[in-house]
Amino acid sequence: MILPDRNQPNSPTRRRAGFSLAELMVVIVILGLLATLVVPKVVASLGRAFQGKVKSDITTITNSLNEYAINNGTRYPESLEELVTPDENGFTFLNARAVPLDPWGNEYQYDPPMPGQPEPRVYTLGKDGQVGGEGENADISNFTLQGGEDR
């Protein structure tokens, strides 16, 4: 019986190593198709998640401001930092060590009540950090969350 020579290129016992160019191209095309279908949905979901975080943060800060005013004779704080500064009993109005940042890393803005605006305004300028804008760049405040117009 004659055994096949393993060094011959057409030998049936020779093992193939690696992938052929055609197999690699098929995998790349499949990955490309998946990316074009999945990435836009992930980006849209991320945008919705950022909007949800903003709404939650602004609602929490607004509620903390109102609690502060109730405990301080209807006087609102001058800055949001007062909400995280412990009083003589170690109590803070916002249950955090620092005022949270918006999802884009910017500080939330605060306008205390003043004549013509009896309620405090808490807002973010959106992703671009500029007044106005649409989509992720839109300004969001406690007034707009309540269904009213921003002041």
Residue 62: pLDDT above 80?
A: yes
* Higher per-residue confidence, 97 vs 147: 97
Let me know if residue 97 belongs to a domain: yes
- What's the pTM value of the predicted model, to 2 decimals? 0.72
Let me know if residue 87 belongs to a domain: yes
Q: 123 is in which domain, residue-wise?
A: 72-151
Let me know if residue 112 belongs to a domain: yes
Residue 148: pLDDT above 90?
A: no
- Our count of domains for the chain comes to 1
pLDDT tens for 70-122 read 999 999 999 999 999 998 888 999 988 899 999 999 999 999 999 988 999 99
List of long-range contacts for 64-73, beta carbons under 8 Å, 24+ apart = 64/93, 64/94, 65/93, 65/110, 65/120, 65/122, 67/93, 68/93
Q: What value does the mean pLDDT of the chain take?
A: 87
Let me know if residue 115 belongs to a domain: yes
Q: How far is CA 93 from CA 23, 65, 87, 134, in A?
A: 61, 8, 9, 32
Let me know if residue 93 belongs to a domain: yes
Let me know if residue 66 belongs to a domain: no
